[in-house]
Chains A and B, each alone.
Chain A
């Protein structure tokens, strides 16, 4: 007789239904989408067979926009309306963008919440909106190729992205109409693609140099568990900077002033990038740039000279490499393999300097452009529930310490960098003055002692505390970081129970209302579409809850529920099932909440039992 199958806890036992899922690498220069098809994770090409989508959006006076290659080709002719490298501005304020000022052709203005907007022919666009346009293009590509609506996606972010940058990326996903199952760190995604491929255990370093960001992560691979030990990087360093260094040299050689117009600047950068790429294979390359006066400048660049130009940039990446080793408590010799990721690791000088640093030949035989998207697709497939047998697990960390401002503008770290997520930490603070009834809380991220040197994430206030003498109040501040690396903060005065809570919506982020408004604006029949969308969302959630519950009940209702409890749960489920087919999204939402509250104790008992089961067989006394 065949043995009966019992599913993993948390997995559905419903008959296998393949859900379409995709991994998206939203890059500074290029973006990709990948999916697992017939058991193989691969990137999806567009109709012309191109896998890479240039991360470029051009806005037209008609209000329409173009994405990718077609936009890129117009970049030199229409520099102000053609937005590239927008990833550099994600989660950044107007002030930060100004600091990057000299190299940006775009016209920035301050939006409502301090978020920078780019003035284009089609109107003002935030970096989140521009990213959403890129994501929507990839979504369309995936849905056409896969033949259906995507149930969920995993979007990758640089490991060194702070909370504001992560939140902005997630918002862009929502704005593109995607269900974001997870934000995944790029080096971790690469490790998944690499590690699963080789089935190898041990400690690896992932060196990821993209168009505009640099990350290095050290991971321990152990039987399908990918544990990030430490990560470091620079979110404003990449191949773009090499292009600029080469372009600056060209301007010097051509005797051009330091302030070329936008069109010339674009042409110089494109020529610089072409030269950099050509020098991967050849020893020298001829340069040609059309000048504004109708003339032309010609020059010659050797690989040796390019190496000298970019050497300081590559050197800058070695500091973070040293730091990850130190944070992981490891020596260079503990690293079994160095994996190179990101298009910029094609540059020979990068490979040789990294190889020299780790004292071993780095691994370059995987496609550095595609590996991140492929890893994300594998994770998306698992999260969508398509691989119930797979027990792969990713344990990631926060890249930068999370802290709070205390008296004197100092930072008190609450969660140190490289702490495994999800994590929840609490610390108690007290009042400074007699009779103080409110407290201003300033949430910051970074390693520095002074608050001003860290990134400000959010400010909120705890009000209505009973007046007490200075130092008598006990304010417990709890930081919680979820598996996406996103922070929420609560504060509670312990003696009175006064509470305040904030989902850290960063200073330059979008509120949920703003996202909703933008979504509405982007639809033709705004009101109707919005309603249909909300209904659909609630129906999907209802489906999810019911399916998970059915599976659970089938498995172990008898062990954890008495007859009364079971019938209460079944009744609430029946009510939800009936409302689900209706068209009242609020009623569905309420029914979900009712069902969740009736089954809360059951869910809790199951999870605790699972934990005990996992530890069963490890009786304590086996050590004695």
Chain B
């Protein structure tokens, strides 16, 4: 009987240890778990119990953040299989992919000079989003149908590229809106 704080996130949520997951199911279980451990449920308990409830609630929040995020969930599964990837790690093995990234970055850099920058950015964001989704379904296939781990690692690294790009898109969008609206 292992303590909740050391069980893996899938066990904690009583979910099968696989990439594919039903988001509504995850959300519902998250709410059930927080209803059980949240510090507000222990407001009239002693200090010790309150501390423990805070640790548990923090742990469940962290687990939920990881499981609901396609990239972090993928990285977590790889970690459970003994392959740790950090944020900054990159891939240099696929020249075609790198070329595509360079082109997307150039497109992002040119947004400000477009007639309607916000609209152009919106189009680019949709394009990036679609490609990210494609990688996500590919990752589900590779991870859950037990293909070789190398393919999964490459996909996760590619998703990290797209994630960084998405962050930059959001920052630019924020700047443009502040300037134009």
Contact = CB atoms under 8 A, between A and B. Distances in A.
A618 B54 CA distance: 24
B58 interface: yes
How many of chain A's residues touch chain B, expressed as a range? 35 or more
Given A384-B44, A423-B58, A600-B48, A322 B37 contact: no
Interface in B150-181: 170, 173-174, 177-178, 181
Contacts of A596: 46-48
Interface string A306-330: 0000000000001100110010000
Nearest to B64: A420
Interface string B8-42: 00011111100000000001010111111111111
A527 interface: no
A10 B32 CA distance: 15
A393 B37 contact: no
Contact of B40 (A182, A227, A615): A182
A420 B61 contact: yes
Interface string A598-624: 011001100110110111001111011
Contacts of B11: 620
Given A10-B45, A603-B49, A614-B32, A322 B177 contact: yes
Nearest to A151: B44
How many of chain B's residues touch chain A, expressed as a range? 35 or more
B100 interface: no
A483 B38 contact: yes
A382 interface: yes
Contact of A483 (B29, B49, B57): B57
Contacts of A419: 61, 65
Contacts of B174: 322-323, 326
A240 to B, nearest CB: 24
Nearest to A600: B48
Given A482-B39, A607-B53, A12 B14 contact: no
Nearest to B46: A545
Interface in A382-438: 382-385, 391, 393-395, 419-425
A284 interface: no
A482 B54 contact: yes
B35 A393 contact: yes
A592 B47 CA distance: 9
Nearest to A383: B43
A393 B56 contact: no
A385 B42 CA distance: 9
A480 interface: yes
B181 A318 contact: yes
A10 B41 contact: yes
Most A Cβ at <10 Å: residue of B14, B42, B53: B14
Contacts of B31: 222-223, 225, 227, 393
B67 to A, nearest CB: 13
17 contacts: A9-B36, A12-B44, A225-B34, A225-B35, A385-B43, A391-B35, A393-B31, A395-B38, A420-B65, A423-B62, A483-B54, A541-B46, A596-B48, A607-B4, A607-B56, A620-B11, A623-B16
Interface of B: 1, 3-4, 11-16, 27, 29, 31-49, 52-59, 61-62, 64-65, 170, 173-174, 177-178, 181
Question: What are the nearest 6 A-B pairs in CB distance?
Answer: A545-B46, A383-B43, A615-B14, A618-B14, A596-B48, A424-B58
Interface of A: 8-12, 152, 181-182, 222-223, 225, 227, 318-319, 322-323, 326, 379, 382-385, 391, 393-395, 419-425, 480, 482-483, 541, 544-545, 547-549, 592, 596, 599-600, 603-604, 607-608, 610-611, 613-615, 618-621, 623-624
